[in-house]
Every structure is written in C-alpha cells, then in structure tokens.
C-alpha cells in the first residue's frame, strides 16, 4: 500500500481542487445515502479522499470515521473540517484492511453503515476487503458504494483512450492500481460478501458508476 499512498499523496492538493464531474448524479446518490442514515448512526467511510462527502454527511449521523490510505488527503480533510466547524468526523490514515478501523472512538466494534465511494475499483484484494467490511457492519446495517464500471454499451473514445493509456501511466508511477469490472460483477461480489442488494443503479449511466445500497444479512 506504500506505493498507492505515495501516488495519492502526490496528487492530494490537485484532487482537493478538482470539481465534481457530474453534480446531478453526485447529489442524487448523496440524497439516497442520507435516506438510510440516522442521527444515532456511527458510520465508516473507506477511501474518503479529502473528506468532501464526509463533510456533507456529517450532520446526518452521530459520528463519521473517515479513512484514507493517503496521509496528505487526511491532512486536507482535517483542515476542511476545522474550517467548517465540524467536530463529529474522526479522520484516520488507514487502508481498508487495517485493524485500526475495527472500532470507533466509543469502543464499539461495528458500524451502522460503511460507505465506499469511488474506491472499490482501486483495491487489489477486493473480495477480502468486502469480507472485512462485512465484519464491521452491524447485522441489518448498510454498505453503500459507488464504483466506476465497464460500459455495457459501446465505450466512448475518451474512456477507451483512458483504458489504453492506463497501463503505461501505472508503469511510470503516474496512475494507481485500477481494475474496472462490469456492474453485474460488483453486484455479485457484494452479495458473496454477505450482503443483500436492496437498491442499485448507474449514476451517471455512461460510463456507468454503479451505486449500490446493500444490507448485511442477519
């Protein structure tokens, strides 16, 4: 994970200034996420980046643990939270398999919900990571994710060009590990990890960003 952390540290400042590509899709999935959260919930976000989504969801939960492999991303997230006066987010530098994510500040071992936005396609050990996520969710709790996937229709020239140049960029350290799967494959992987998919859709549709709300099977 040191290689991935080094890459994300190097782009953290630029990432923090980047704009949301599709605001309508982002706002829709944000509102759907809020509809499953309560003021009493303790929530974990995997791959929080610079904390933009965590900051928007903070007033919907009791406490949010925002984690990322990049120390620079976490530093920026902390600064943003302090500037906005938000004090119920606990930022922590950690990757998804780290044991430091197994407990909240209050000492409880499980979360009411785990969030993973735009991170699953960046994980090398995805099935293992999903199993670990399942262990952190309370029975009946939720796993909410959004992940870029392979288009089922004809790929746009932009997406095709990105896929062709990606291996070269990874070779020279200009891109992280990435594995783009089909939407249906993500559904199956989440089901196999012990979740029941209760809501799903592509937002935006092309390239598809698979949005899944899944509930832990009791």
**Domains, the chain, ranges and CATH?**
2-151+179-216 (3.40.50.150)
Task: Report pLDDT digits (tens) over 88-111.
Answer: 999 999 999 988 887 545 445 589
- 162/151 Cα distance (integer angstroms): 13
Contact criterion met (CB below 8 Å) for 119 and 68 = no
Cα separation, 173 vs 25, in Å, equals 30
Tokens for 98?
């780290």
- Alpha-helical segments (H) within 18-67: 23-34, 52-57
- Taking the C-alpha atoms of 11, 16, 19 and 20 in order, what is their torsion angle to the nearest 10 degrees? 90
Which tens digits make up the pLDDT trace of 147-202? 999 887 776 767 767 767 776 677 777 778 888 999 999 999 999 999 999 999 99
Whole-angstrom distance, CA of residue 140 vs CA of residue 55 = 25
């Amino acid at each position: 994970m040191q290689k991935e952390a080094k890459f994300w540290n190097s782009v953290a400042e630029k990432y923090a200034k980047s704009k949301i590509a599709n605001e309508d899709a982002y706002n829709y999935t944000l509102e759907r996420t809020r509809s499953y959260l309560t003021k009493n919930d303790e929530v974990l976000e995997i791959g929080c980046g610079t904390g933009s989504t965590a900051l928007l969801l903070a007033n919907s939960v009791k406490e949010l643990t925002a984690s990322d492999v990049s120390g620079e991303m976490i530093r920026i997230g902390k600064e943003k939270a302090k500037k906005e006066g938000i004090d119920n987010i606990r930022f922590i530098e950690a990757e998804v398999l780290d044991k430091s994510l197994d407990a909240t500040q209050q000492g409880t071992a499980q979360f009411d919900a785990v969030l993973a936005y735009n991170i699953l396609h960046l994980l090398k050990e995805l099935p293992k990571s999903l199993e670990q996520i399942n262990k952190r969710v309370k029975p009946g709790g939720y796993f909410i994710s959004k992940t870029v996937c392979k288009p089922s229709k004809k790929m746009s020239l932009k997406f095709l060009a990105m896929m062709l140049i990606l291996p070269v960029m990874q070779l020279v350290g200009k891109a992280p590990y990435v594995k783009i799967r089909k939407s249906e494959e993500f559904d199956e992987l989440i089901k196999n990890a012990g979740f029941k998919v209760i809501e799903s859709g592509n937002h935006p549709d092309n390239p598809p960003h698979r949005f899944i709300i899944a509930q832990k099977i009791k």
